[in-house]
A and B are shown apart, each in its own frame.
Chain A
């Protein structure tokens, strides 16, 4: 591990009994959902992580416990270093506290996760969908959401597929 990251990882480990993984010099810290706000506040105030560079999620369907990882990518401009926090969330009614009062950028990013993954953020000031229309059903970036494509028709099954195509019939 990068020497500069060692005190940060150690501090988070001691405080939140977090585990960590390493790959290509990147450090991923694993935390529980209820610890995330305290951990972000600690990293921002004590270790100069001013920037929440990315806030996203990964879906590990069909695995259910945990189904999602919510990913926080933090950047410190003053010290020029990065660390990633991952919060595993279960598949049934996924919920995690909001980080909007730590980083304002979390507001839109959390709305995006609500929209794309159906992960709810407890205490979010403006929980609306952000990219897809309000009346849309489902969450597109979940792995069980179909990508959608047109079935190729061949001579032998032309009529069969034609029947279930959505365009207007005479």
Chain B
């Protein structure tokens, strides 16, 4: 069954230059086990000395069939799969999924739940950017960045643990609201974070922004021009670093983002350094949103009162027959969605995270397609690394900020 097959160059003939066929340039595998590919990604490189002539990404090592699995689960149960998708952004994935379900079945969400969703999603965005900053620091041999960034990320994960019981795979958002109200300690925990974090970002910037080593490695490296970015469907910070002001939170506000005052940082250079600046600035903007959302957070229910879709609270089940029936029906059969299809998208830390959700009238989704930003952002890599050194490829790859779980699904 597991015969070793010799791979001939014929298969890649159309992807490499003619010089590779004569042996003038070298083909080299980078990955799938390589510390700077941020997961299991294989890059087949065609090298002229140390200069990259062609780069052929090979993905699929982390393919788990999430889309197929979701088709076999009810709408409530399919949500846990989304956490595992982009594991640096589980809360953002939950938001994309519950918003798609809410749009499909036309379900209302109370204002308090929307406020909580914004606070937690923005904290998740900061934590995702912190992991990016730490690991891309590591890739550029700035070891201490990793330690500083994970120190702050830990504080965010503690907040997630406080509200949902889980540090990473939270599944805290549910169709129609959130799982339950936040504990009383929540506000203090977030306020503590808001208090210290701006100083910490200043620290990172002191270490990096004008650091000559960073500038040498990133300025003018991996330039992505606007036309290529759009044609390759690049979204998120890489697109904004190339000069296009496109952020779904501003362009198509959802979950009450229109109430908050924040900027969308953009640059025009489109190089690795511009992507760095955009993300660092985004962390500051996200913190502004967290603070405003916390100040404005209204009191009230955190789950919709529509009993056809949202289970009743435990206290009601003992006294109301209808509640008992609803509880039973919702957890055994699930709720039905109309035979229709919708597309809904949110701005994840990596770009546009879209869901094509199609119902067939029953309690399980007929088709779920996850339009994940890393997939398209990685496709552009082969265009922007040409002519750069192998060492620069590491910097460029980390500046795109891919998550392999997000690509392979």
A interface, CB within 8 angstroms of B: 23-24, 26, 28, 50-54, 56, 58-59, 71, 73, 75, 77, 80, 82, 84, 103-105, 107-109, 125-126, 128-133, 140-141, 145, 147
CA A147 to CA B69, docked complex, whole Å:
7
Q: Are the C-beta atoms of B342 and A24 separated by less than 8 Å?
A: yes
Provide a sorted-by-A list of 27 A–B residue pairs whose CB atoms are within 8 angstroms: A24-B106, A26-B343, A50-B230, A51-B235, A52-B233, A53-B233, A54-B354, A54-B371, A56-B369, A58-B366, A58-B367, A73-B343, A77-B230, A80-B251, A84-B343, A104-B232, A105-B232, A105-B233, A107-B379, A126-B14, A129-B60, A131-B63, A132-B63, A133-B60, A140-B65, A147-B69, A147-B72
Contacts of A73 in B (CB 8 A): 343, 354, 356, 371
| Residue in chain B with minimal CB distance to A149 | B72
CA A159 to CA B104, docked complex, whole Å:
46
Q: Are the C-beta atoms of B340 and A23 separated by less than 8 Å?
A: yes
Residue B352 is within 8 A (CB to CB) of chain A in the complex: yes
CA A79 to CA B333, docked complex, whole Å:
42
Q: Are the C-beta atoms of B341 and A28 separated by less than 8 Å?
A: yes
CA A76 to CA B408, docked complex, whole Å:
26
Residue B252 is within 8 A (CB to CB) of chain A in the complex: yes
Contacts of B59 in A (CB 8 A): 130-131
CA A26 to CA B345, docked complex, whole Å:
13
Q: Are the C-beta atoms of B60 and A130 separated by less than 8 Å?
A: yes
Residue B376 is within 8 A (CB to CB) of chain A in the complex: yes
Contacts of A109 in B (CB 8 A): 376
Contacts of B352 in A (CB 8 A): 53, 75
**A131-B408, A132-B60 known; A53-B252 Cβ under 8 A:** no
Q: Are the C-beta atoms of A77 and B246 separated by less than 8 Å?
A: yes
Q: Are the C-beta atoms of A59 and B343 separated by less than 8 Å?
A: no
CA A141 to CA B63, docked complex, whole Å:
12
Q: Are the C-beta atoms of B68 and A147 separated by less than 8 Å?
A: yes
B interface, CB within 8 angstroms of A: 11, 14-15, 59-60, 63, 65, 67-69, 71-72, 103-104, 106, 228, 230-233, 235, 244, 246, 251-252, 340-343, 345, 352, 354, 356, 358, 366-367, 369, 371, 375-376, 379, 408-409
A sample of 5 more A-B contacts (CB under 8 A), given A51-B230, A73-B356, A131-B409, is A58-B358, A105-B233, A131-B60, A131-B63, A131-B408
Q: Are the C-beta atoms of A51 and B233 separated by less than 8 Å?
A: yes
CA A147 to CA B65, docked complex, whole Å:
9
**A26-B343, A132-B60 known; A104-B369 Cβ under 8 A:** no
Closest 5 CB pairs of A and B: A105-B233, A131-B60, A54-B371, A56-B369, A104-B231
Contacts of B340 in A (CB 8 A): 23-24
Contacts of A126 in B (CB 8 A): 14-15
Distance of B7 from chain A, by nearest CB (Å) = 10
Distance of A103 from chain B, by nearest CB (Å) = 6
Contacts of A132 in B (CB 8 A): 60, 63
Contact residue among B68, B103, B376 (Cβ-Cβ distance under 8 Å from A105): B376
CA A71 to CA B233, docked complex, whole Å:
16
Q: Are the C-beta atoms of A125 and B366 separated by less than 8 Å?
A: no
Distance of A84 from chain B, by nearest CB (Å) = 6
CA A28 to CA B65, docked complex, whole Å:
27
Distance of A118 from chain B, by nearest CB (Å) = 14
Contacts of A128 in B (CB 8 A): 11
Distance of A95 from chain B, by nearest CB (Å) = 20
Q: Are the C-beta atoms of B230 and A71 separated by less than 8 Å?
A: no
Distance of B159 from chain A, by nearest CB (Å) = 32
CA A104 to CA B376, docked complex, whole Å:
10
